[in-house]
């Protein structure tokens, strides 16, 4: 007995030591990553300081205030040099990241790209424009972390297709921005590089998962950025930070060499595909970026991208539009300010001569429970859990991770116990443990067919009303940090158009007023339940923060989507 006891004790001690060593190894990797980032920022700050000493008369504010179209014109004509513009934005980015923690890493090769564009025979559409890119978009010689420790040891060997095309068009990628851990959150926090803050209110989140991009651009540290969107990850940061952002049809831009969780994304079909898209301060900037990317270089490097150049005629048209609209999807009622923004924008469009038609998206509860979430948790969340192996889980993700860890039998027992509340749980579906899964290959194929059937149904309703575009709400205003993880399915307004794979963009049209804040006190949501009250807490204290609307078009009609966005932007600015 004494020998057995000693063996048990020694085994237990060995397990404890083994776990401690594992945690210590993880901690060392994270510390090394932070040290590397800080050294890169120190190096860049010195380079900026040297440039300022050489050219002390730079009118920084004047350069930073130029819209993208005007800046490209000044660069092409030579009245501004690419070097001056690059170092101006590097300096501003350093300032913004000190306040918001939005940068994951500077790209020192930006100085080599600066020399390269001056050797190019022709000046591309983005000649001399400094551009920021989201953490997981591959850039040669740099990490693509997704906020995960397991990704810290693998350096990207080749630029993604999108980065290659940006460089060919004369752009200068200069920074990679922070993301939430695993990208599966619309906050922006990970254990390695920490929490990113909203530049307008440091108590608020910039949104996610392209939250670093949102904070950097909104803070003035970048004039154009590239994000990704699989549930709202471009549109939600744009809404929270007062930016314009476009999620194109997924296959319109190449995603080759872009990391997603622990695998590399390629152009293979997926039931709910990821899309890369631009984020900027105005709609014209998005249009210019799309025009630059949709070029022969893109189509040659990635033959899976349809060779459809940007249609300037559609974007520049002034013909009246037939616009469908709705101010709620019936699933997750949004705060009063977001519905007010939709109502005012609808009135402005109508007054401008466009035809507005009431539209109701079908079966959103079904889309959330049976299509969107089932796609990501088809295996009960096991593939997602695998990415956290040997990692520290971010506090904002712990509730979802813990739900996925519940064994299948435990989930069945939980479902049985909670059966009396089944309607409420399905109505809001805040518990990942309640999501149905695909238990066989046949069920998975049926799931794919159900998504296609829903797309057909939605398009048929759209065609029946003869719509050109749709105007609808987007989640906002900015949540207090930590709250996005508590309200996973509040993203129904954006998620819908990922399931449909429609182009969708966000435009800021107003700000939260004192009257909005007062009306929020009476907000009851759908049932005045704990989740509705959590949403009220999440958006409280947002006076002065941006309020946005969402614009949508049919697949492959990004130009028409941008056309509506431009019209909305123009009318809101006039107002």
The tens digit of pLDDT for each residue in 166-209 reads: 999 999 999 999 999 999 999 999 999 999 999 999 999 999 99
Per-residue model confidence (pLDDT) at position 264: 41
Per-residue model confidence (pLDDT) at position 436: 65
Tell me whether residue 81 is annotated as binding: no
Domains annotated for the chain, with CATH where assigned, are 27-305 (3.90.1300.10), 314-378+440-574 (3.90.1300.10), 379-437 (no CATH)
Half-sphere exposure of 508 (CA within 13 A, CB side): 24
Residues with catalytic roles: 134, 209, 233
- pLDDT tens digit sequence for 243-258: 999 999 999 999 987 7
Tokens of 432: 């990942």
Task: Find, among 323, 350, 354, 310, the residue nearest to 468 by Cα.
Answer: 323
Tell me whether residue 231 is annotated as binding: yes
Q: What SS3 class is residue 32?
A: helix
- Alpha-carbon distance of 39 to 45, in angstroms, equals 10
Per-residue model confidence (pLDDT) at position 32: 96
Tell me the average confidence (pLDDT) per consecutive run of 10 residues in the chain, 575 residues long.
76 72 89 96 96 94 98 97 98 98 97 94 96 97 95 93 98 98 96 98 98 98 98 98 98 84 45 95 98 98 97 98 96 94 98 98 91 83 86 90 78 63 47 63 88 97 98 98 92 97 98 97 84 93 98 98 98 92
Tell me whether residue 183 is annotated as binding: yes
Per-residue model confidence (pLDDT) at position 377: 80
- Whole-angstrom CA distances from 90 to 95, 186, 573 are 9, 26, 29
- Alpha-carbon distance of 341 to 360, in angstroms, equals 18
Start-to-end C-alpha separation, the chain: 84
Per-residue model confidence (pLDDT) at position 6: 73
- Alpha-carbon distance of 311 to 557, in angstroms, equals 9
Tell me whether residue 347 is annotated as binding: no
- Whole-angstrom CA distances from 566 to 284, 292, 358, 419, 509 are 7, 18, 21, 48, 11
Q: What SS3 class is residue 437?
A: coil
- Alpha-carbon distance of 155 to 380, in angstroms, equals 31
∠ CA 171-172-175, nearest 5°, is 130
Per-residue model confidence (pLDDT) at position 187: 97
Per-residue model confidence (pLDDT) at position 268: 41
Per-residue model confidence (pLDDT) at position 445: 87
């Amino acid at each position: 007995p004494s020998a057995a006891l000693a063996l048990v004790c020694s085994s237990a001690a060995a397990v404890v030591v083994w776990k401690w060593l594992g945690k210590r190894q993880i901690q060392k990797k994270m510390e090394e990553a932070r040290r590397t980032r800080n050294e890169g920022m120190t190096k860049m700050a010195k380079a900026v300081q040297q440039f300022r000493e050489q050219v002390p008369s730079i009118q920084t504010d004047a350069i930073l205030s130029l819209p993208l179209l005007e800046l490209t014109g000044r660069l092409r004509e030579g009245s501004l040099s690419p070097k001056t513009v690059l170092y101006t934005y590097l300096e501003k980015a350093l300032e913004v990241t000190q306040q918001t923690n939005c940068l994951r890493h500077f790209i020192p090769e930006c100085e080599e790209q600066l020399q390269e564009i001056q050797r190019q025979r022709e000046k591309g559409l983005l000649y001399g424009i400094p551009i920021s890119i989201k953490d997981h978009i591959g850039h040669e010689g740099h990490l693509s972390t997704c906020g995960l420790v397991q990704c810290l040891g693998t350096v990207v060997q080749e630029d993604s297709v999108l980065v290659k095309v940006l460089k060919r068009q004369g752009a200068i990628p200069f920074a990679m921005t922070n993301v939430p851990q695993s990208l599966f959150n619309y906050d922006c926090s990970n254990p390695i590089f920490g929490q990113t803050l909203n530049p307008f209110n440091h108590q608020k989140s910039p949104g996610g998962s392209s939250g670093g991009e949102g904070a950097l651009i909104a803070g003035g540290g970048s004039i154009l950025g590239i994000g990704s969107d699989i549930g709202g990850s471009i549109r939600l940061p744009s809404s929270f930070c007062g930016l314009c952002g476009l999620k194109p049809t997924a296959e319109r831009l190449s995603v080759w060499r872009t990391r997603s969780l622990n695998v590399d994304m390629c152009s293979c079909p997926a039931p709910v595909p990821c899309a890369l898209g631009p984020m900027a301060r105005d709609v014209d900037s998005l249009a210019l970026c799309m025009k630059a990317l949709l070029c022969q270089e893109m189509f040659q490097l990635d033959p899976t991208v349809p060779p459809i150049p940007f249609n300037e005629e559609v974007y520049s048209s002034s013909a009246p539009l037939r616009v469908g609209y709705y101010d709620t999807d019936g699933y997750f009622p949004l705060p009063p300010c977001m519905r007010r923004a939709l109502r005012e924008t609808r009135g402005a469009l109508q007054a401008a001569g466009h035809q507005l038609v009431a539209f109701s998206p079908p079966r959103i509860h079904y889309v959330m429970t049976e299509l969107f979430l089932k796609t990501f948790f088809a295996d009960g969340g096991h593939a997602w859990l695998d990415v956290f192996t040997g990692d520290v889980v971010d506090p904002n993700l712990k509730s979802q991770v813990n739900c996925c860890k519940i064994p299948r039998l435990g989930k069945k027992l939980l479902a049985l116990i909670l059966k009396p509340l089944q309607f409420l749980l399905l109505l809001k579906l805040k518990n990942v443990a309640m999501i149905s899964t695909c238990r066989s290959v046949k069920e998975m194929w049926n799931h794919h067919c159900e998504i296609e059937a829903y797309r057909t149904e939605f398009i048929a309703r759209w065609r029946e009303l003869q719509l050109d575009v749709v105007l609808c709400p987007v989640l906002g205003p900015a949540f207090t940090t930590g709250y996005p993880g508590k309200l996973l399915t509040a993203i129904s307004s954006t998620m819908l158009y990922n399931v449909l794979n429609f182009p969708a963009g966000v435009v800021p049209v107003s700000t939260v007023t004192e009257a909005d804040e007062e009306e929020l006190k009476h907000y009851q949501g759908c049932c005045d339940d704990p989740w509705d009250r959590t949403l009220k807490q999440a958006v409280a204290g947002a006076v002065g923060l941006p309020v946005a609307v969402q614009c949508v078009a049919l697949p492959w009609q990004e130009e028409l989507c941008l056309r509506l966005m431009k019209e909305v932007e123009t009318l809101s600015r006039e107002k």
